[in-house]
Amino acid sequence: MRRTIDLNQNWAFRLDAEVPKVFPEDWDTVDLPHTWNALDGQDGGNDYRRTRGVYVKRLPLKPLDLSKVFLEINGCNSSCEVWLDGKLIAAHDGGYSTFRCALPVVSGEELLTIVADNRPSDRVYPQQADFTFYGGLYRSVNLIAVPEEHFELLKDGTPGIKVTPIVDLENKRAAVTVETWHNGKSV
């Protein structure tokens, strides 16, 4: 049994802020998807704001019946840091890919902070393009709770299952191959 909890509503947000120690009541409130380049990224120039944006949310959960909890970020451009109660627990470079990180068992009182950074970087590609590198959490963010035995959620942003179709048009046949990763092991 997998439980997915949508975290897209009511984030505290501020540009160029430090990671807060307590929930920042006086910050702007935003819903996801969100970018700080919604206006300045539309004019076709290369003059849009490239900086850090800090998103903060209280985790809405009491202890779960399921034993493993993962944070799923489906799009954070371009680099991302994940903080839980003021401690850095994960980082990811690459704004166009889903990534997940394991969270310690949550009690419902944790402060989740996600730092999105679209500043120019020599470690994140593409480094130059003819489009805007929109900063922010521009896709959904979820918590995923699973039992101890589960398909591996840390396998390259996948659900731990790979299905490949094999089609033979000449002989009018089709089949699929299925590859799975279960808690990190290919089965």
DSSP single-letter state for residue 133: -
Amino acid at site 61: L
Q: Could you tell me the pTM of the whole model?
A: 0.85
pLDDT of residue 82: 98
Site of tokens 């033979």: 168
Neighbours of 75 (CB within 10 A): 22
Would you give the end-to-end CA distance of the chain in angstroms?
19
| pLDDT, mean of residues 159-177 | 88
Q: Is the dihedral of CA 17, 20, 23, 25 positive or negative?
A: negative
Residue 187 above 60 pLDDT? no
Residue 108 above 80 pLDDT? no
Q: Is the dihedral of CA 85, 91, 97, 98 positive or negative?
A: negative
Separation of alpha carbons 150 and 181, rounded Å: 9
Question: Is residue 75 within 8 Å of 55, Cβ to Cβ?
Answer: no
Is the pLDDT higher at 149 or at 19?
19
| pLDDT, mean of residues 159-187 | 82
Question: Is residue 106 within 8 Å of 99, Cβ to Cβ?
Answer: no
Residue 4 above 80 pLDDT? yes
C-alpha distances out from residue 167 to 54, 162, 177, 178, 180, Å? 47, 16, 11, 14, 21
Average pLDDT of the chain, as a whole number: 86
- pLDDT tens digits, one per residue of 62-93: 656 667 889 999 999 989 999 999 999 999 99
pLDDT of residue 148: 81
Is the pLDDT higher at 164 or at 120?
164
pLDDT of residue 126: 66
Neighbours of 22 (CB within 10 A): 8
Residue 134 above 80 pLDDT? no
